[in-house]
C-alpha cells in the first residue's frame, strides 16, 4: 500500500509540474518586422484600427498615420517602415517591436504603442 501511494504521489507531482503553461495560450515569438506587421493593430493613443496585409497593402480608415485610407507599405530595415499612397510617402520610425506590440515614434505623440488585435 505504501508503494502505491508513493507511485501515485510521484505521478501527481509529474503532472502538476509539467503543466505550467495554459495550453490555450498562444506563444509569442518575435520575427522580423515585415512578418510581424502583417495583421490588425490598434493605436493606443486614439483607438484607430490599422490593417497591414501580406500583399503589402494597408488600410488606415481613420487616416491616422498616412492621411490616406489605404495604400502600400514596405519595411525599411528593422527600425522603420514606409506607407505610400497616391502622391504621399510617409516613413514611420520604430522605438521597438515584439510579436504583439510595435512602438511607433510619432511626431507630437512620441513613443506610441500599436497593439495586435
Q: What is the pLDDT of residues 17-61, one digit of tens each?
A: 555 545 555 677 888 999 999 999 999 999 999 999 999 999 999
R_g of the chain computed on alpha carbons: 22
- Reading the block at residue 16, the C-alpha cell is 502538476
Under the banding of pLDDT at 50, 70 and 90, the label for residue 70 is very high
31: Cβ–Cβ under 8 A, 6 or more apart, which residues? Answer: 99
CATH code of the domain containing 82: 2.40.128.370
Q: Which domain holds residue 70?
A: 30-116
Evaluate whether residue 6 is within a structural domain. no
4: Cβ–Cβ under 8 A, 6 or more apart, which residues? Answer: none
102: Cβ–Cβ under 8 A, 6 or more apart, which residues? Answer: 36, 37, 41, 94, 96, 113, 114
Structural domains in the chain (count): 1
Under the banding of pLDDT at 50, 70 and 90, the label for residue 108 is confident
Is the pLDDT at 110 greater than 90, yes or no? yes
Q: How far is CA 32 from the centre of its chain?
A: 11
Amino acid at each position: 500500500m505504501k508503494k502505491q501511494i508513493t507511485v501515485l504521489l510521484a505521478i501527481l507531482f509529474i503532472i502538476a509540474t509539467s503543466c505550467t503553461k495554459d495550453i490555450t495560450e498562444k506563444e509569442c515569438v518575435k520575427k522580423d518586422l515585415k512578418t510581424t506587421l502583417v495583421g490588425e493593430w490598434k493605436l493606443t493613443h486614439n483607438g484607430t484600427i490599422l490593417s497591414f496585409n501580406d500583399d503589402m497593402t494597408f488600410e488606415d480608415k481613420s487616416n491616422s498615420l498616412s492621411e490616406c485610407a489605404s495604400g502600400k507599405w514596405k519595411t525599411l530595415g528593422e527600425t522603420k517602415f514606409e506607407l505610400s499612397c497616391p502622391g504621399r510617402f510617409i516613413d514611420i520610425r520604430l522605438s521597438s517591436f515584439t510579436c504583439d506590440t510595435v512602438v511607433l515614434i510619432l511626431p507630437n505623440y512620441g513613443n506610441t504603442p500599436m497593439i495586435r488585435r
